[in-house]
Amino acid sequence: MGSIAEWLESLGLSEYMQRFADNGIDFSVLRDLTDQDLKDLGILLGHRRKMLRAIAELECESGRAAAKPSGQGDAERRQLTIMFCDLLGSTALSARLDPEDMRDVILAFQGACAQIMPTYDGFIAKFQGDGVLAYFGYPRAHEDDAERAVRAGLDIITAVGQIRSPCVSKLKVRIGIATGLVVVGDLIGEGASQERAVVGDAVNLAARLQGIAEPETIVIAGSTRRLIGDLFKLCDLGPHQVKGLPGSIQAWAVEGVVASESRFESVRTSRLTTFRRKNRVFASTQAHSKAEKPHRNARWGGFEVVN
C-alpha cells in the first residue's frame, strides 16, 4: 500500500483523507491508533470498526513477512528460546460469537503479538488460530535472548489485555517459555502454511509449560531461569510431570520485572548466589573430612581453603 490515501480508498473511506492529513496521520502512526483516537477525529462507529479491523490485518501481514523463510537447505544447530502463546477461552468465544466477530478477535490478538515481537527481535514462526509460536535467537542470536523472550511475553500480556471489543470484556493469554539446543531452519509445508521448523526438547517443553500457566502468566523452564539471573520476580512452582518428557521438570512463574541498577548487576547477583551456594557445600564437605585429614589444604574455583 503506497499511502494513507490509497489505504483509505481501498476501504471505501476516502472521505476521511483530509482529516488524516490535517492530523499528520501516516503509516508510521497508523498502528498506534485506538478507537478513541478515531472517535476524536469524528469517524463514525461503523467506519471505526472497519478501520481497526484493517489495521489489525496490517499487523498480521507485517508479522508474517518478518517470519517469511528464505529457502531450504540451511538448517543449523543452535540454542534458542522458544515461546508458545495461547489465547484463553477461544473455543468458548467461537461458539458464542459470530464468525466475523471471532475473526476480529483473532486478528487483534495476532496483531498485538506481531507489533511487539520486532521490539525484542523475536521471530514469529507460526500463527495458528488462537496460538503463536515464536523463536528468540533465530535468525539473529543475542546473549540475552531468554530475557528478550520474557520481556516480550510480559508486553504481550499487557497489550492483549488492553484490546477492547464490544464482543469480549477482556482477552487473556498464557505463555510458556523454554530454552535449549535445537535444529532450526528446515522449511516445511507449502504456500501459506510454510514455516521454519524447529526440532528439540525445548519446543515440546515450552508448549507443555504454556498448558500449566495460569491466565495472564508466563511459566518458564529451568533452562530459561538460569539465563535471566535476578532480572524478574519469580515464583517457584516446584516440580511438574510433563507429558511426553521423562521425569519431572522445574517450573517458575514470572511475576514481573525487578527494579535493578543494571542488567549486568542482576545477572551478576544471581551468579554470585549460585557460587556462594557451591562454596557452602564445599566448605561443609571439607569440615566433614577434617577429622580424618587434618592440616590439609584444598583448592576449589581459584580459592584456597585451609583446614
Question: In the predicted model, is pLDDT for residue 253 greater than 60?
Answer: yes
> Which range, 11-15, 194-198, 289-293, has the best average confidence (pLDDT)?
11-15
How confident is the model over 179-193, as a mean pLDDT?
A: 67
111 and 254 within one domain: yes
Provide the pLDDT for residue 91. Answer: 85
Provide the pLDDT for residue 62. Answer: 54
Question: What is the distance between the alpha carbons of residues 1 and 59, in angstroms, rounded to a whole number?
Answer: 13
How confident is the model over 162-173, as a mean pLDDT?
A: 84
Total of domains in the chain: 3
Nearest to 216 by CA among 291, 153, 168: 153
Q: pLDDT by residue (tens digit) across 37-85? A: 888 899 998 888 788 778 767 655 555 454 444 444 567 888 999 999 9
Q: What is the pTM of this model?
A: 0.63
Phi and psi at residue 85, to the nearest 5°: -125, 130
Buried residues in 124-149 as b, exposed as e (16+ CB within 10 A): bbbbeebbbbbbbbbeeeeebbbbbb
9 and 108 within one domain: no
Q: pLDDT by residue (tens digit) across 168-183? A: 778 999 999 999 999 9
104 and 52 within one domain: no
How confident is the model over 142-152, as a mean pLDDT?
A: 95
Half-sphere exposure of 240 (CA within 13 A, CB side): 20
**Who has greater pLDDT, 306 or 165?**
165
- Residue ending a domain, among 66, 85, 112, is 66
Provide the pLDDT for residue 60. Answer: 54
120 and 75 within one domain: yes
56 and 74 within one domain: no
133 and 237 within one domain: yes
Question: What is the distance between the alpha carbons of residues 88 and 170, in angstroms, rounded to a whole number?
Answer: 10
237 and 284 within one domain: no
Q: How confident is the model at residue 245 (pLDDT cuts 50, 70, 90)?
A: confident
Q: Which domain holds residue 209?
A: 69-259
Provide the pLDDT for residue 151. Answer: 96
